A and B are shown apart, each in its own frame.
Chain A
Amino acid sequence: MKRTFILEDLDCAHCAAKIQEEVGKLDGVSNCVVTFLTTKMVYDVEDDKDKEVEKKMRAIVKQMEPDVEVISK
């Protein structure tokens, strides 16, 4: 399934690229794209791993950019 999130207050392009890389590496995730300009994160995830991936993704964002708020859409 396709998940979309808004990463509010993301203002470091470098971090956006790093978040994309790290989340893309998570088990069950494919085609992860973080668009810096629209502060949007989109990825495909295997249905049964969705919850787990979301938790890990939030942890990654928190760690890289503590100021960013992840809003699911």
Chain B
Amino acid sequence: MTKKLKRMIKRIILGAVVALIAVVVTKMTEGFSWGKWASLAAFIAAYLILAYDVLKKAGVNIIHGRVFDENFLMTVATFGAFGCGEFTEAVAVILFYQIGEAFQSYAVNMSRKSIKSLMDIRPDFARISRDGEEKEVDPSEVAIGDIIIVKPGERIPLDGVVKSGQSSVDTSAITGESLPRDVDAGTSVVSGCVNLSGVITVEVTSEFAQSTVSKVLTLVEEASSKKAHAEQFITVFAKVYTPIVVGCAVLLIIGGSLITGDIREWIYRGMTFLLISCPCALVISIPLSFFGGIGGAGKNGILIKGGNYMDVLARIDTLVLDKTGTITKGNFAIGEIEVSDDYNGRYGEGAGDRLLKYAAMCESYSTHPIAVSIVNKYGKDIDKNAVSDIKEIAGKGVEAVIEGRKYCVGNSKLMKDALSEADYPEIEKCSDVSMGGTLVYVAEDGKYAGHLHIIDEIKDGAVEALRECRKAGVNSIIMLTGDNEKTAESVAGKVGLDKFFANLSPLDKVTAIEDILENNKIGKVAFVGDGINDAPVLTRADIGIAMGAMGSDAAIEAADIVIMTDELSKITEAKRIAKKTLRIVKENIWLALGVKIGVLVLAAFGIASMWAAIFADVGVAFLAIMNAMRALRAK
């Protein structure tokens, strides 16, 4: 509880006690000629204790020409009640107003706290090792290239690469992923994650201001400056609402008095109107709901850059995906292995395995991703000593001599040099029947032996994730890729896409997304990419979603929504969170407006008292705040 709130509560209690004394005084002095004055004095004392800050603010505001202000209205309403001789009511109104304010303050503080704890990923210190000494410093004082030490249970303060030590790291604060990740020397680690098991030393690769944790925090905190439609509506609405209600109150008092002649009754009804004239419930709860939604999404590794994107997210009906790194893993796996008839004839049954073994031996010295995947596929120990005369030819492949035979492993360009004229057409034949992906050819002593089919693997869970997307209201899923037609077709078929466009340059992708936008008039178009080479497309789509962005600056900058892990299922989750948030916002708008308008109507007919009006003002604000907090618990 804040100091301010404690002070407020003490004041409310004191005011309530004085008000009670005033009631007693009124009863005891009944019948005396001066009784009414004693009662008034006691009530004014209670009133001043409770209302002095409201009166002061109202005064200051009038001096500065701001009339339609809740303090001013509260002052007018309570003065009016005093004027009508309703002393008890005047004090009760201000008492309940203050209780309501205290409640609101409490609720706002609670929500701030839960949001803060959600974003509690800011590291407090970095343990730096300089001149052989360990020292705890502020993360912002650490420079690129410094070595920091992170012990178990501590938060990794800056992005970097592990130099020594082994541990597992809890990345959930950044990615929402609950399974810890194993790290050892050479693995890059991201700030904001918690080191779990062992001591690691990390070489820092970015300054604190540029680190992932700083970026994520700034992004979430600044998200509320981009307002959604509902928020803009409330801002505009709040400006006109108060003057309209005050106008109605004046009309009610003048009109009612003229018709019935009972001025006192109509002043009372008019004052009741004034009590409901503050749009607080809406003004507080709507931004709070959006902030809650953004915070809840953040907890799940989804960064939404503003409330406005919630609107768009909820209305997505077309999903455009990049292929590599989005639908596929972006690494390479070995698919089918084909051997030539000649090779098959020579080695029979085990020809395929033999081909893989020799290819792996040739590639065993290379670090190229395809080479690594071939070696991994072979999986057995390789006797590197058996391989001699290794020659790596950039952009083509590898040549090596094993057991006295010369092997060439590489692409068609390498084969052109390695094979005899008679064999080369065979290569061209297989590139025609390829199912998409890349082919790595193997030649033995200048004769074509076979090829390995390298495919980019589809991500685990991609098929289910896209099916879920359809259930969540996406009716068209399209893929854009720079890869060839066959690869695109095979991927599109496997994950069940509606359409695909292949052989696209980055510029073609922009044209393609523009066509798609042109043809979609109803819903919204989202583009999902890895953010590295898709920046123009990300910005062009109605909403740009970058995936697997952990540690990638470009993606965080270009996209509207950033998904820290590379799971496609997060898209559906983001859409669901957006829908839930918007539903809460709508509920709050209807709750606040409904109750207020209802009480206004009742007050006009003289049915609702000032007590009901106070509930309509602060009670509803309290309920709306509580409802808004549900957005935070997005799961």
* B123 interfacial contact with A, CB 8 Å: no
Contact A17 B283, CB 8 Å, known A9-B4, A37-B111, A67-B4 = yes
* A72 interfacial contact with B, CB 8 Å: no
Q: How far is the CB of A54 from chain B (nearest CB, A)?
A: 20
Q: Mark B454-489, 1 if CB is under 8 A from A, else 0.
A: 000000000000000000000000000000000000
Cα A35 to Cα B284 with chains together (Å): 11
* Chain B, range 285-329, C-beta contacts under 8 Å to A: 287-288, 291
Q: Which residue of A lies closest to B104 (CB)?
A: A11
Report A-chain residues with C-beta under 8 Å of the C-beta of B108. Answer: 11
**Are the CB atoms of B4 and A13 closer together than 8 Å?**
no
* B608 interfacial contact with A, CB 8 Å: no
| CB contacts between A and B, total, < 8 Å | 52
* Chain B, range 257-292, C-beta contacts under 8 Å to A: 278-280, 283-284, 287-288, 291
**Are the CB atoms of B224 and A13 closer together than 8 Å?**
no
Q: Which residue of A lies closest to B242 (CB)?
A: A14
Q: How far is the CB of A12 from chain B (nearest CB, A)?
A: 8
**Are the CB atoms of B112 and A13 closer together than 8 Å?**
no
**Are the CB atoms of B115 and A11 closer together than 8 Å?**
no
Report B-chain residues with C-beta under 8 Å of the C-beta of A12. Answer: 280
Q: Which residue of A lies closest to B3 (CB)?
A: A9
Report B-chain residues with C-beta under 8 Å of the C-beta of A11. Answer: 4, 104-105, 108-109
Q: Mark A30-73, 1 if CB is under 8 A from B, else 0.
A: 00010111111010000000000000000000010011000000
* B64 interfacial contact with A, CB 8 Å: yes
**Are the CB atoms of A17 and B288 closer together than 8 Å?**
no
**Are the CB atoms of B283 and A13 closer together than 8 Å?**
yes
Contact residue among B4, B104, B221 (Cβ-Cβ distance under 8 Å from A38): B221
Contact A35 B278, CB 8 Å, known A13-B284, A14-B70, A67-B4 = no
* Chain B, range 220-243, C-beta contacts under 8 Å to A: 221-222, 224-225, 235, 238
Report B-chain residues with C-beta under 8 Å of the C-beta of A39. Answer: 112
**Are the CB atoms of B60 and A63 closer together than 8 Å?**
yes
Report B-chain residues with C-beta under 8 Å of the C-beta of A33. Answer: 222, 225
Q: Which of A9, A17, A38, A39 has the most CB of B within 10 A?
A: A38
* B117 interfacial contact with A, CB 8 Å: no
* B519 interfacial contact with A, CB 8 Å: no
**Are the CB atoms of B224 and A14 closer together than 8 Å?**
no
* B367 interfacial contact with A, CB 8 Å: no
- Tally of contact residues, B, Cβ under 8 A: 29
Report A-chain residues with C-beta under 8 Å of the C-beta of B56. Answer: 66
* B178 interfacial contact with A, CB 8 Å: no
Report A-chain residues with C-beta under 8 Å of the C-beta of B70. Answer: 14
Q: Mark B1-32, 1 if CB is under 8 A from A, else 0.
A: 01010000000000000000000000000000
Report B-chain residues with C-beta under 8 Å of the C-beta of A36. Answer: 224, 284, 287-288
Cα A15 to Cα B65 with chains together (Å): 15
Contact residue among B4, B222, B278 (Cβ-Cβ distance under 8 Å from A14): B278
**Are the CB atoms of B109 and A14 closer together than 8 Å?**
no
Contact residue among B2, B57, B279, B288 (Cβ-Cβ distance under 8 Å from A9): B2
Cα A11 to Cα B2 with chains together (Å): 11
Cα A36 to Cα B224 with chains together (Å): 9
**Are the CB atoms of B112 and A63 closer together than 8 Å?**
no
Cα A68 to Cα B278 with chains together (Å): 21
* Chain B, range 196-236, C-beta contacts under 8 Å to A: 221-222, 224-225, 235
Report A-chain residues with C-beta under 8 Å of the C-beta of B238. Answer: 14, 17
Q: How far is the CB of B374 from chain A (nearest CB, A)?
A: 52
Report A-chain residues with C-beta under 8 Å of the C-beta of B279. Answer: 14
**Are the CB atoms of B235 and A35 closer together than 8 Å?**
no
Cα A66 to Cα B70 with chains together (Å): 15
* Chain B, range 64-111, C-beta contacts under 8 Å to A: 64, 70, 104-105, 108-109, 111
Q: How far is the CB of B421 from chain A (nearest CB, A)?
A: 69
Q: How far is the CB of B493 from chain A (nearest CB, A)?
A: 47
Q: How far is the CB of B17 from chain A (nearest CB, A)?
A: 23
**Are the CB atoms of A37 and B224 closer together than 8 Å?**
yes
Report A-chain residues with C-beta under 8 Å of the C-beta of B4. Answer: 9, 11, 67
* Chain A, range 1-35, C-beta contacts under 8 Å to B: 9, 11-14, 17, 33, 35
**Are the CB atoms of B109 and A37 closer together than 8 Å?**
no
Cα A48 to Cα B318 with chains together (Å): 50
Q: How far is the CB of A1 from chain B (nearest CB, A)?
A: 15
Q: Which residue of A lies closest to B111 (CB)?
A: A37
**Are the CB atoms of B283 and A14 closer together than 8 Å?**
yes
**Are the CB atoms of A37 and B280 closer together than 8 Å?**
no
**Are the CB atoms of A37 and B64 closer together than 8 Å?**
no
Cα A66 to Cα B222 with chains together (Å): 26
Cα A33 to Cα B279 with chains together (Å): 21
**Are the CB atoms of A13 and B280 closer together than 8 Å?**
yes
**Are the CB atoms of A14 and B280 closer together than 8 Å?**
yes
Cα A15 to Cα B359 with chains together (Å): 72
Q: List 20 A-B contacts (CB under 8 A).
A: A9-B4, A11-B4, A11-B104, A11-B105, A13-B280, A13-B283, A13-B284, A14-B280, A14-B283, A17-B283, A35-B224, A35-B225, A36-B224, A37-B111, A37-B112, A37-B115, A38-B224, A42-B222, A63-B60, A66-B57
- Residues of chain B touching chain A, judged by Cβ–Cβ distance below 8 Å, are 2, 4, 53, 56-57, 60, 64, 70, 104-105, 108-109, 111-112, 115, 221-222, 224-225, 235, 238, 278-280, 283-284, 287-288, 291
Q: 7 smallest A-B Cβ distances: which pairs?
A: A13-B284, A11-B105, A13-B283, A33-B225, A37-B291, A9-B4, A14-B283
**Given A14-B238, A35-B221: 18 more A-B contacts, CB < 8 Å:** A9-B4, A11-B105, A13-B287, A14-B70, A14-B280, A14-B284, A17-B235, A17-B283, A33-B222, A36-B288, A37-B111, A37-B224, A37-B287, A37-B288, A37-B291, A63-B60, A66-B56, A67-B4
- Residues of chain A touching chain B, judged by Cβ–Cβ distance below 8 Å, are 9, 11-14, 17, 33, 35-40, 42, 63, 66-67
